[in-house]
Chain A
Amino acid sequence: MKIKGFEKSGWFIIPVLFFIPVFIQDGYYLGLAINCFIYIILTLTFMLMMQIGLLSLGQCAFYGMGAYSCTLLVIKAKLPYWIALPLGALITMAIATLIFIPIIRTKGLFFAIMTLCLSAIVAQIAGTWESFLGGHTGIVGIPKPSPVGPIDFSSRVHYYFFCLSLMLITIIVISRLVKSNFGITSRLIRENELLARHVGINPFKYKLMSVSIASFFAGLTGGFYAPYSKYIHPEVSSIWDSLYVQIYGITGGLGYPIGGAIVGTVVLKILPEMMRVVQMYQPMFFGVILILVVLFLPNGLMELPKVFAQRWFKSRIK
């Protein structure tokens, strides 16, 4: 039972987001918002893969690959940023698709841990290959993107709008995908792969497509991050961030690919800020939240209104 209009109401927030920098110029809060946007995109790609039943704990591997590809194209191949960005994402997509060909065949949850390994491997390669990828110290001095109209990326506000646009594009594309035939087929494959095969669907092909699309967008975001933070390093592809993506997704609610990604990420990014959780304790905070959500609110925060409504109705019937 979907509460009518609940999801549609989300779209009203978009104009608000465009106006925020008018009121808030503080670099810290803008940075927080940008960080939110980045992780919303990553969580959206996670949700996309979940639609077909692929639990991916390695989104940051794509993120890192995208960041490094884009950076290397700009710095070594001297390409303009606006060509390097999509090209970097395409490279990420190509590598990811190739690597996942054998991985997709692994059974259920081992897939998940293999994706986590991928994050670790990307980080290790980036950390060890000094000559090409900069090793442990990473790559510094990443130049700004070339100007687009009035936006010359001289201040964080410009990056804010850039990221916001990326996020909106990703939301639109992924929500279209989820509602399309591709989404329906994905969900069928997730629920009953045998049946899908009998109907003539090739699950492997769809799973690979899912991976490609997810890795493209995650790589694109990595390409955004590179000039934004002016410095990339192996920890961009960290296993912890990858794990957190999954926590944001589960907390938001796996049944709601778009809304869940947004709600989960925003709540879990803002909450520690509001509660001023000390950096060191944060993993425990997330662990506790994850356990609480899985035990008591298994369908995520998006179902909170429904849960309350049901409880309220039940109490009235008595």
Chain B
Amino acid sequence: MIGQVIFNSLTLGLIYALIASGFTLVFGVTHIINFAHGELYMVGAMMMYVFYAAIGMPFLIALVLSASISTIIGIILERFIIRRIRGGEALRVLALTIGAQLIIMTGVLILFGPMDKAVPSVITGLIRVSNITMPVERIIVVMASIIIMFGLFSFLKFTKKGQAMRAIASDPEASALQGINVNSMYTLSMGIGCLLAGAAGALMAPILPVNPFVGPHATIYAVLVVCVAGLGNVPGAIVGGLMLGLVENLSCSLLGGGYSEVISYGFVLVLLIFRPEGLFAKKQT
């Protein structure tokens, strides 16, 4: 039983972790809270429907294409809209991202209609280990998430661009003085963040509902995870996502599905009472 819960939490938690790390990465580098982040998740899922279900491309290609489209939309968002107010009051930027969220959501609504889209499973079938039932599909999601996460981690730690992004997250001015092109890094981080969200959406398309309205839900979960983990902290976001996935799944099994959001929210609230900055918040220098 416990094993089953752990497995289910793993799927959910990793997806939360994916979405949240994209969100927190964007914030860490650009200091923008992107309310439209969830929309990129939604776009990834929708595109998966288009490429995989409607057109019938192979799974992997559909996945890559969907994530790419999310990335492109994110980059357009950053270059043309957000950049104009960069450095402005946080409220104005948030309002801008809310406007973007509304536009993206309505755009998808107009193009695809409000009904749920069905995306078929990649592989059906179950694997049973002791008394844990593991749908093969979810195993794939777990593996894909881990690979992506690993890629993100290595990128941030080992590549020049990744290190540049971490530098900017710490101190934009010093980074600029060192010759880092802050502008292009902003765009890059936004692109990567949106890529993560889009990939999460695409991966979960066969499993979770796909309709134009799932965006804010994803954004809310990203925020909850970041509240738990602390802003700007990518490894923290991963751990936080897993924690939240665990909490939600546990409450789901014990109390039934209707209250799962309430429990997650309550959990975060309680955590905030004791650690308002989040569990793994960066130390303020």
Query: Interface on A for B, CB 8 Å cutoff?
Result: 55, 99, 101-103, 105-110, 112-114, 116-118, 120-121, 124-125, 127-128, 239, 243, 246-247, 250, 254, 280-284, 286-291, 294-295, 298
Contact = CB atoms under 8 A, between A and B. Distances in A.
Interface of B: 33, 35, 81, 84-85, 90-92, 94-96, 98-103, 105-107, 109-110, 216-217, 219-220, 223-224, 226-227, 231, 258-259, 261-262, 265, 269-270, 272-273, 276-277
Given A103-B272, A280-B106, A117 B223 contact: yes
Among the interface residues A246, A282, A286, A290, which one has the most CB atoms of the partner chain B within 10 A? A290
Contacts of A117: 220, 223-224, 265
Most buried by B among A107, A246, A294: A294
- Which among B90, B96, B269 has the greatest number of chain A C-beta atoms within 10 A? B269
A160 B265 CA distance: 38
A113 B84 CA distance: 23
Given A113-B35, A121-B261, A283-B105, 11 more contacts: A109-B33, A109-B90, A109-B94, A110-B227, A113-B223, A247-B95, A250-B95, A283-B106, A287-B102, A290-B102, A294-B85
A72 B51 CA distance: 49
A121 B35 CA distance: 18
A284 B110 CA distance: 10
B92 A298 contact: yes
A222 to B, nearest CB: 20
Nearest to B27: A109
Q: Which of B92, B102, B109, B223 has the most CB of A within 10 A?
A: B102
A277 B110 CA distance: 14
A284 B106 contact: yes
Contacts of B110: 280-281, 284
B33 A295 contact: no
A124 B261 contact: yes
Contacts of A247: 95, 98
B207 to A, nearest CB: 21
A282 B103 CA distance: 9
Nearest to A293: B95
Nearest to B281: A107
B96 A128 contact: no
A124 B85 CA distance: 35
A121 B262 contact: yes
Contact of B107 (A112, A284, A291): A284
A107 B226 contact: no
A128 B262 CA distance: 10
A13 B166 CA distance: 56
A291 B81 contact: yes
Contacts of B105: 283
Given A128-B259, A291-B100, A294-B85, A105 B272 contact: yes
Contacts of A116: 216, 220
A125 B224 CA distance: 18
Contacts of B269: 99, 102-103
Given A113-B220, A128-B259, A294 B96 contact: yes
Contacts of A109: 33, 90-91, 94
27 contacts: A99-B269, A102-B270, A102-B273, A103-B272, A106-B276, A107-B277, A109-B33, A110-B231, A113-B33, A114-B223, A116-B220, A117-B220, A120-B261, A124-B258, A125-B259, A243-B98, A250-B95, A282-B106, A283-B106, A284-B106, A287-B98, A287-B106, A291-B96, A291-B99, A291-B100, A294-B96, A295-B84
A289 B95 CA distance: 11
Contacts of A102: 269-270, 272-273, 276
Nearest to A130: B258
A207 B102 CA distance: 29
A266 to B, nearest CB: 19
A290 B262 contact: no
Contact of B265 (A110, A121, A289): A121
Given A107-B277, A283-B106, A114 B98 contact: no
Contacts of B220: 113, 116-117, 120
Contacts of A106: 227, 272, 276
| From A116, A124, A284, residue with most partner B Cβ within 10 Å | A284
B244 to A, nearest CB: 13
A177 B96 CA distance: 29
Contacts of B33: 109-110, 113
